[in-house]
Amino acid sequence: MSLIEWDDRFSVGVASVDHEHRELIALINATHDRLLRPGAEAAMPDFLGEIYARISAHFALEERLMQEKHYDHYSEHKADHERLLEEIRDMMDDYEDSNFFNEQRFSGKLQAWFTGHFRTHDARLHQNLG
Amino acid sequence: MIKPIQYASRQAFLRLENAFGVAFGPKTNPFYHLGALSFFFFWVVAVSGIYLYVFFETSIEGAYRSVEYLTHEQWYLGGVARSLHRYASDAMVVVVLLHLAREFALDRYRGVRWYAWVTGAVLLVFLYASGIGGYWLVWDRLAQYIAVVTSEWLDWLPLFSEPMARNFLNSAAMNNRFFSLLSFMHIGIPLFLLLGMWIHIQRISQAKTNPPRVLVVGSLLAMTVLSFVRPALSQAQANLDLVAGTVQLDWFYLVLYPLFDIWSPGTVWGLTVVSGLLLLLLPWLPRKKATPVAMVDLPNCNGCGRCFADCPYSAVIMQPRTDGLPFENQAAVDPDLCTSCGICVGACPTATPFRRVTELTPGIDMPALTVRAMRERTLAATAALTGPDRVMVYACGAGPDIAAFRESGVAVLALPCVGALPPSFIDFVISRRHADGVALVGCVEGDCYQRLGVEWTGQRVTGQRDPALRSRVPRARVAMFWVGPGGVPELLHRLASFRGKLRERGPYQKGEAAHHPSSKLDQAHNVTY
């Protein structure tokens, strides 16, 4: 079963943003699937690096859209992006530096990390951009 | 032939600029603002010219009289305006010629930069025509001399049905209408000059057309003082019935006029045309070796526009999506404008070395040094380092001599511009402990060979511009050195002191930045001793 299922409530009403959200969900699910199979530890840095790059690009696009529309909560939303990127970087460093790795906990973190931002900031963005 | 001249003039500029740098400081060094100063002097000439025009009479008798009135009766305003008009236009010639010589010396005129060179060269004609036309209007002995010599020169070409010089045979031949025509030309040609200046800067983004305030105030003050101390004066009134004997030339605009005494108009025409053609063709003598331009990889581009925002040459454009993906835009590169500086790659959010190696293709990449190659070379270079003070240096290829670093025991990667480095490389090198610190070496601040690379890098590293270096990276492990060609010994000294600090600090610890929030970025701007 997938870690995160696409939900129409996730839609912000901007085709490009929705498309990237779907892609990110697919990437996180693929990471989760890979975690459950043998040899996950060796493959994880690649997946995390990819998520980091994709999410960076996605935020860059979202930030441009917000700036173009003079979105009033831009700085808060941007700050949340920065926080999320720091968190994924923490996960990457934790992974690199620790000998102990807990798949379950890691999956949980990824899911919470992704959907948390959705429920708050992107939902508000939806009302404003959509 | 061209190379030695270029080298010698580069050395000359270097010495001059360093001397000015000591007096003015790096940010207000006039040599870094020659183009902008030209704009500023143009505006001074324009404003003072409008004032003079109010009082100027366009008739043979009135022209001289009205200028005399302005100079002597209304010396406190009209006289100052006249002097400012003169001195600012002289200053404009100086900064324009220095600007031209400097772009040549620093090899910033070939390749895709031919456009600014050629348009600039054409502007010289308008600049000189404006200035010479101005001298003509005063209608003193100098004006008479210019009128006769210039019209004889122009008459050599079969342009006019009647020789223009016939107007200046004697005072009876001259008429007032000719004066109206001249004064209109003195307005029209400068307007074309302004239009040309605007065209001249079309192919670069964020062109600097306003010099720093210190230079504006300083030069305006200096010219005003000069206007009171040595006001611009007319020579004796023109009299076409007399042959102009001795005239005092203006050496800024009329420097070539003595040639008319030695040579025939045809010879001077030959010299003008040949040197003009040489100037125009210079970017192709020889042409710059073409470097492959930036390439967009659509599967990795979501149209975020960061490369578009950072490109110093307007070479990246955002255009409607062509691959069917639901993004609005995609980046595209205009090969005629791209200088292969790589600053777009430094701006791309997908250009991160943390990505899986096999698929490390960013949205925009430089074929000459791909991000993947950048990552591989970083790893190879740092693998050879040992000790507690390992430093990875990313250096601008147009800046200081890289061989000097290699011998000093650090890892070095030369980039087309320091702005081509995606900031996450710094995070990568430090957090993965490939080195204990990262040093960025670029051109002198305010005078980046690729225009904006140093500025953008500084803003990215200090978190003022996206993609910003993550705050988790301890700034004490990052050093920025902006260095002129003469600053290498000083740079090596500073690099050694940076390594000393790294030794004291010990190996990188996770969360170090949070534990030492005050850790300061090691920056030495403009090491040009």
Looking at the complex, does the CB of residue A19 fall below 8 Å from at least one CB of chain B?
yes
Query: For the packed helices A74-97 and A103-117, what is the interaxial angle rounded to 10 degrees?
Result: 170
Looking at the complex, does the CB of residue B107 fall below 8 Å from at least one CB of chain A?
no
Residues of chain A with Cβ-Cβ distance to B300 below 8 Å are 57
**8 Å CB contact between B283 and B114:** yes
Cβ of B349 and A56 within 8 Å?
yes
pLDDT at A19: 92
Cβ of A57 and B354 within 8 Å?
no
Q: In whole angstroms, give the CA distance from residue A60 to residue A78.
A: 9
pLDDT at A128: 67
Report the residue of B302, B361, B470 to disrupt the A interface, i.e. the one with the largest count of A CBs within 10 Å.
B302
Looking at the complex, does the CB of residue B45 fall below 8 Å from at least one CB of chain A?
no
Looking at the complex, does the CB of residue B330 fall below 8 Å from at least one CB of chain A?
no
| DSSP letters for B166-186 | GGGSSTTT--HHHHHHHHHHH
**8 Å CB contact between B415 and B394:** yes
CA distance B329 to chain A (A): 10
Residues of chain A with Cβ-Cβ distance to B363 below 8 Å are 57
Tell which B residues from 341 to 360 touch A, by Cβ distance under 8 Å: 348-350, 352, 354-357, 359
Looking at the complex, does the CB of residue A12 fall below 8 Å from at least one CB of chain B?
no
Question: Token digits for B482?
Answer: 């902006």
Cβ of A56 and B305 within 8 Å?
no
Cα–Cα distances (Å) from A66 to A12, A76, A120, A122, B97, in that order, read: 12, 11, 16, 11, 45
Looking at the complex, does the CB of residue B271 fall below 8 Å from at least one CB of chain A?
no
Looking at the complex, does the CB of residue A85 fall below 8 Å from at least one CB of chain B?
yes
* Interface A-B: count of C-beta contacts within 8 A: 78
Tell which B residues from 494 to 513 touch A, by Cβ distance under 8 Å: 510
In this prediction, the answer to ipTM > 0.90 reads yes
Cβ of B356 and A49 within 8 Å?
yes
Nearest to B470 among A16, A61, A85 (CB): A85
Looking at the complex, does the CB of residue A102 fall below 8 Å from at least one CB of chain B?
no
**8 Å CB contact between B105 and B2:** no
Cβ of B355 and A85 within 8 Å?
no
| DSSP letters for B230-269 | S-----SBP-TTS-----PPPTTT-TTTHHHHHS-HHHHH
Cβ of B305 and A15 within 8 Å?
no
Residues of chain B with Cβ-Cβ distance to A90 below 8 Å are 472
Residues of chain A with Cβ-Cβ distance to B359 below 8 Å are 50
Cβ of A50 and B355 within 8 Å?
yes
The C-alpha angle with vertex B96 and arms to B19 and B263, in degrees rounded to 5, equals: 115
Residues of chain A with Cβ-Cβ distance to B325 below 8 Å are 19
Taking CA–CA distances from B321, the nearest residue in chain A reads A16
| Residue B528: CB atoms within 10 Å | 22
Q: In whole angstroms, give the CA distance from residue A71 to residue A87.
A: 24
Taking CA–CA distances from B359, the nearest residue in chain A reads A50
Taking CA–CA distances from B326, the nearest residue in chain A reads A16
pLDDT at B528: 46
Q: In whole angstroms, give the CA distance from residue B477 to residue B479.
A: 7
* DSSP β-ladder status, B437-442 and B391-396: parallel
CA distance B359 to chain A (A): 9
Nearest to B349 among A57, A89, A96 (CB): A57
Q: Tell me: the pLDDT tens digits for B233-244? A: 998 888 877 776
Cβ of A57 and B470 within 8 Å?
no
**Using H for helix, E for strand and C for coil, what is the string for A9-23?**
HHCCCCHHHHHHHHH
Look at B132 and A112; give whichever has higher pLDDT. B132
Residues of chain A with Cβ-Cβ distance to B354 below 8 Å are 45, 48-49, 52-53, 92
B297, A74, B474, A105 alpha-carbon torsion, rounded to 10°: -80
Report the residue of B354, B364, B512 to disrupt the A interface, i.e. the one with the largest count of A CBs within 10 Å.
B354
**8 Å CB contact between A35 and A103:** yes
Rounded to an integer, the average pLDDT of A65-73 is 90
Looking at the complex, does the CB of residue B303 fall below 8 Å from at least one CB of chain A?
yes
Question: Token digits for A126?
Answer: 């939806």
Sites in chain B below the pLDDT cut of 70: 244-245, 357-358, 485, 515-519, 524-529
Looking at the complex, does the CB of residue B433 fall below 8 Å from at least one CB of chain A?
no
Percent of chain A with pLDDT over 90: 21
Looking at the complex, does the CB of residue B417 fall below 8 Å from at least one CB of chain A?
no
Taking CA–CA distances from B463, the nearest residue in chain A reads A82
pLDDT at B460: 96
Question: Which H helix or E strand runs over B480?
Answer: strand B478-483
Nearest to B355 among A53, A85, A90 (CB): A53
